[in-house]
Structure 1
């Protein structure tokens, strides 16, 4: 029997690759998006992680359809890049509300059923920016760094119930976002990556699948970089 899996922000990019990888392994997977638009081959729940009632409704739908969530992948995130001197308070707080507080909301909604089952996997999708910082991304980097502290605190709280909490920190990933970068920006990024290329979404998904799988049962509180060596030492 496959497990009940929920991937937030799983309608595109890294989240979609994660969802498809876990579904291919036999899990029952639901993805969330703010639009709730259909995604081929996957169940979709409309959810805005900025709203606790919306999160609760999405979990209730998943629980009715495929049972209590056993694997939670907190992937939903946004960017509003700007240099600090020009960064508005709204842009700062909205990114934290989605990326960090949103992860708290879904983890909190998942935790009690996991505790009753005495098993569960929580996986938070951070970023190399959260470990090393990035100019123009004070809000984004702060939110992604916060996920590390959140996951490690949960690892200590929940380990006695066989619930693990880990972080995957991608670097540059081949996506619509990186496709439109100016060539000089791409060249600079590639020059800083020891492996000399961007990651694929499938490579990030593979790391998540490992942490969600039986071989990773003794791994908790870890940060797994998928960045080609860009952030090593952080």
Structure 2
């Protein structure tokens, strides 16, 4: 889709990767709604702040009323509780799924008719390399992102006939608040935002933004032994 002249809603746009996405879209000529639980925390000049909690259906419905001209939805809002599946707090596991899976599904279900009414467009789901591979200390996050990936694939098939393209962005760690605990290599979120918007403009279904994601995707064809060499 053509970004210039489009109207986008970016969730979780008050900081981190979402703010970079909103800035990139704005720089390319899009009108941008910046979704955040507290719209007063949105400090990017040129965007329209929108109060939005993707886990609250009433909040999602209110955002759709306000942003009724959207033809590009970017599902970026997310959390990372660092909860493991075996011994972690089950409520936190549920919170990850409520956010990444049910919250984003609620956004799609609510905004798909809006996008159709505006002549069609694109939905970009910000996924993760952890939708393809998982680690014990991030089990809840990986499970939720895997569920979101499956959702992305299913909705892509359903919405294509309605004139909506559903894209997924796969990326490893980025240098944002969510990854402050990570000591390994991290991508520049501004650079990843440019790649993501490039992918949307090129009508890509799958945007694999960094080397680690490309390596893991290649490893999928070789099974468990390739993805988890530490196993005996």
Q: State the TM-score bracket (shorter-chain normalisation).
A: 0.7 to 0.9
Structure 1 residue matching 2:153: 3-state secondary structure: helix
Match of 1:30 in 2: 33
**1:119 is the counterpart of 2:120:** yes
Unaligned runs of 5+ in 2: 221-232
CA contact (8 A) 2:60 2:110 kept: yes
TM-score by length of 1: 0.84
**1:228 is the counterpart of 2:206:** no
TM-score by length of 2: 0.85
Post-superposition CA distance 1:118-139 (Å, at most 9, x none): 4110000111111111221121
Shift of 1:169: 1.3
CA contact (8 A) 2:76 2:125 kept: yes
Distance in 1 (alpha carbons) for counterparts of 2:155 and 2:15: 27
Structure 1 segments, 4+ long, off by >4 Å, are none
Match of 2:51 in 1: 46
Match of 2:169 in 1: 168
CA contact (8 A) 2:83 2:141 kept: no
CA contact (8 A) 1:171 1:225 kept: no
Structure 2 residue matching 1:156: 3-state secondary structure: helix
Match of residue 13, structure 1, among 5, 16, 25: 16
Unaligned runs of 5+ in 1: 190-196
| Structural RMSD (CA) | 1.7
Structure 2 residue matching 1:77: 3-state secondary structure: coil
Shift of 1:177: 3.9
Match of 1:208 in 2: 196
Match of 2:229 in 1: none
Post-superposition CA distance 1:150-192 (Å, at most 9, x none): 11111111212321001101101112343444xxxx2xx3xxx
Shift of 1:113: 2.0
Distance in 2 (alpha carbons) for counterparts of 1:172 and 1:92: 20
Post-superposition CA distance 1:199-227 (Å, at most 9, x none): 111122122212332x32xx33x3x2223
Assess, with a 3 A threshold, how the Cα gap between structure 1 residues 179 and 81 changes in structure 2: closer, same or farther. closer
Distance in 1 (alpha carbons) for counterparts of 2:186 and 2:137: 21
